[in-house]
Amino acid sequence: MGPDPAIVLVRPQMGQNIGSAARAMLNFGLERMRIVAPRDGWPNPDAVAMASGAGRVLDASTIHDSVADAVGDCDFVFATTARSREMTKPVVSPERAMAMSREMQRDGRKVAILFGPERTGLENDDVAVANAIITVPVNPEFASLNLAQCVLLTAYEFRRQTADVEHEVLSMPTTETASVIEVEKLAEHYEARLDEQGFFFPETKAEVMKVNLRNMWSRMPLTRQDVQMFHGMLRQLLRKIDNK
């Protein structure tokens, strides 16, 4: 198994953005940062302040004079860019790029991802070093991404390849899911009281209406607390009618 991808910041201009990129990396478990020719030198107190808890990423970062030096030990390099390039290279989405990175990591290969300076992005000479280009499907009328945003998006996609993501979770911290019989009793309660009030009309459609109502109850992810509340709501609404 190879190391996680190296995040290479090429000629970053602001310490704040370096610190924000470090936070984005650590949010998703990446810690290998390499910095090429930072404009304001290194170390940078603004980067440390902005890292806010991700200082270990900055502490372990390495400084390089050139892109070639920063990725010299790597087997495969991605370059992130929103601009069209007159180069014959594969162009992939962040999702596909990180799937490729994960596959190469399993094979013990080292991967690096280049991110350009805030104002201009990567130069053609930088991109020429890369094996493939990552392009984010952004709004073509406003394609500029903040450096840290781009790092975060890429790190998130890598995390998705390596972690089990629960795409939907029903959180019920204080109660349990209602049982089938509890939902059935709720359906019977509503059906009986609605029938008394003449809801199922005309008679020729009554059975279909009852089936539809029961289907509605069964589709709902009801808890025991929900069932109790629905019983109470119906009793309260019909109390005045029953007392007449």
Give the mean pLDDT of 187-209. Answer: 92
| Per-residue model confidence (pLDDT) at position 171 | 66
Burial 152-173 (b: 16+ CB within 10 A, else e): bbbbebbebbeeeeeeeeeeee
* Eight-class DSSP state of 205: G
Task: Quickly state the pLDDT bin for 61 (edges 50, 70, 90).
Answer: very high
- Mean confidence (pLDDT) of the chain: 91
- The arithmetic mean of pLDDT across residues 197-203, rounded, is 91
| Residue 23 clears pLDDT 70, i.e. is over it | yes
Mean pLDDT throughout 57-74? Answer: 96
Q: What is the pLDDT of residue 244?
A: 63
Residue 43: is the preceding peptide bond cis (ω within 30°)?
yes
With a pLDDT cut of 70, the percent of the chain lying above it is: 95
What pLDDT is stored for residue 228 in this prediction? 93
Q: In what order do the strands lie in the sheet with 6-10?
A: 62-64, 33-36, 6-10, 111-115, 76-80, 132-134, 91-92
Confidence of residue 172 (pLDDT cuts 50, 70, 90): low
Helices vs strands, H then E, count in the chain? 10, 7
Confidence of residue 175 (pLDDT cuts 50, 70, 90): confident
pLDDT digits (tens, 9 = 90+) for 211-223: 999 999 999 989 9
- pTM score, two decimals? 0.71
174 pLDDT exceeds 90?
A: no
pLDDT at 239 > cutoff 90: no
What average pLDDT does range 71-85 have in this prediction? 88
Q: What is the pLDDT of residue 130?
A: 95
Give the model confidence (pLDDT) of 82-129 as tens digits: 766 677 899 999 999 999 999 999 999 999 999 999 888 899 999 999
Q: What is the pLDDT of residue 139?
A: 84
